[in-house]
Chain A
Amino acid sequence: MLKVFKYTLIDLARNRFVLGYALLMLFVAEGLFFVEDDPTKALLSLVQVVMALVPLIALVFTIVYSYDSLEFTQLLAVQPIARRSILAGQLLALCTALLVAQGFGLGLPLIVHLPNMAALMLSLAGSGLVLVFTALGLLIALKQREKARGVGVGLTVWFLFVLVYDALLMALMFSFSDHPIEPYVVPLAALNPVDMGRILVMLQVDLAAMMGYSGAIYKHFFGSLGGIAVAAVVLLLWFFGPTLFSFRTFQRKDL
């Protein structure tokens, strides 16, 4: 597994897309801190960018990379090495490459301009999203035989998580505005890793007051250490769930 990881990482380290991702994040983060006088406002804008961009990049890149390396994966699969080692090495390398790129592009400006808990939370939430959507991307690539179809499914998943889910949640809250449904919004929001990442960061910049009753519930729940631990566990489940399915799929897949 470590051998596959090592050489896949060497390959990814020179990948233009990964380098471009690091530079794009750096450009966006530095740009926002440059145009906003208040670093906290820049952070809030950055949250929106990260929550939309990170899942998209992680999904699409993982899917495209997986399809492009299919012939090489076949060559690895005819070596005396277990399939689970191949997949684990590739997944670990993809996550590492994207996390390092994000650490450089996002983490560095945050350390320089706003070294506080909110920035740390944004970095952690962003890293969590990289893991979750890389795992989802890998599963999609393994389930779909055609590259175009795989990318299409990936974009649909991104659209669902980033836009549709929020819209549905808001519609639900609006429809049942006469009822006390806020307590149910917390677990519903936690089902979406993008929403959960956003809430965790927002609570660190004390925007709960602007989020009304739901904000108070979020703060009550996620504001505690226990809540943060639950959030971390949910993100890990979002990572390990698709990963386990990927291993099962790859083990049985005809290459």
Chain B
Amino acid sequence: MAEPRITFTDVGKRYGKLWALRELNVAFHPGEVVMIIGPNGSGKTTLIKCLLGLVRPTTGSIAVNGEVIGTDPNYRRSIGYMPQISQFPAALTIGQLLDMMRDIRGLNDAVVDDRLINELGLDKQLDKRLSDLSGGTRQKVSAVLALRSKPEILVMDEPTAGLDPVSASKVLGHAAEVREQGGTVLITSHLMEEVEALADRIAYLEDGQLRFILPMDEILQSTGQQRLAKALPLLLERKLAAGMNV
């Protein structure tokens, strides 16, 4: 297997007395989509935030392409991020926001992939102020921002929340393209049905700990189920019965 693109080594994050993430050791590889699931407060968002540099791990280290990430922000050049909540400066237009992010990332037109702007119907709304947009349209803008730089690492936090089914499918289609081009895609979602077709591996977090990370096929085969939503409870029950503390 290729060298991991992202490696978490003994990563822990403590907020006050609460450990949101504990002793996380996991690697994510090029050309794969990993779906990160778990109950509310299980540590999914903290995991993502540690990778993005939004929070500093209390213990351990994270390496991207073999380099341990520190204070140098340049590693984030390879990351596209679609947050769960998209809030932008109210008085800017969509076009101005796209220009701003292109300038900040130092992208030129040859690198920028603007297909999604047209596919999501944003091309006709570029002069619209961000304050006038619906939640769904803001999510579309957010998806464009995450994907237009053709990232090596794509991180999506509840990417389909608020999107209509057609737009959700287009956004996930582009995420699949990132994988096909050798990128690594990490997705957290509660809407498993929408994302499971894309996932190569499933990482299950609970109480800040990684309980398992398994290939999607293995989960479905071992439980005899067709859908993740049905397979997952069975798998958790089995692991509990086997005394695996899940």
Contacts and interface: CB of A to CB of B under 8 A. Distances in A.
Interface stretch (A32-40, A74-82, A121-129, A227-235): A74-82
26 contacts: A3-B104, A4-B104, A7-B92, A7-B97, A8-B89, A11-B89, A11-B90, A12-B91, A13-B91, A68-B87, A70-B87, A71-B85, A71-B87, A75-B81, A75-B145, A77-B52, A78-B53, A78-B79, A79-B73, A79-B101, A80-B73, A80-B74, A80-B76, A252-B56, A255-B49, A255-B54
B170 interface: no
Interface in B38-80: 49, 52-56, 71, 73-77, 79
Given A15-B91, A78-B81, A255-B54, A7 B96 contact: yes
Given A80-B73, A254-B54, A255-B49, A71 B83 contact: yes
The 9 closest A-B pairs by CB, nearest first: A71-B87, A14-B91, A11-B89, A254-B55, A80-B77, A7-B100, A255-B54, A78-B52, A80-B76
Contacts of B19: none
Interface residues of B, number: 33
A6 B97 CA distance: 11
A72 B104 contact: no
B104 A79 contact: yes
A181 B31 CA distance: 76
Contacts of B53: 77-78
Interface in A210-255: 252, 254-255
A82 B86 CA distance: 21
A6 B55 CA distance: 27
Contacts of B15: 254
Interface string B174-194: 000000000000000000000
B130 to A, nearest CB: 9
A10 interface: yes
Interface residues of A, number: 29
A11 to B, nearest CB: 4
A79 B76 contact: yes
A81 B91 contact: no
A83 B72 CA distance: 10
B109 interface: no
Interface in A55-109: 68-72, 74-83
A71 B157 CA distance: 13
Interface in A177-212: none
B105 interface: yes
A254 B50 CA distance: 9
Contacts of B79: 78
A11 B83 contact: no
A87 to B, nearest CB: 13
A255 B216 CA distance: 32
Contacts of B77: 80
B149 to A, nearest CB: 10
Contacts of B55: 254-255
B132 to A, nearest CB: 12
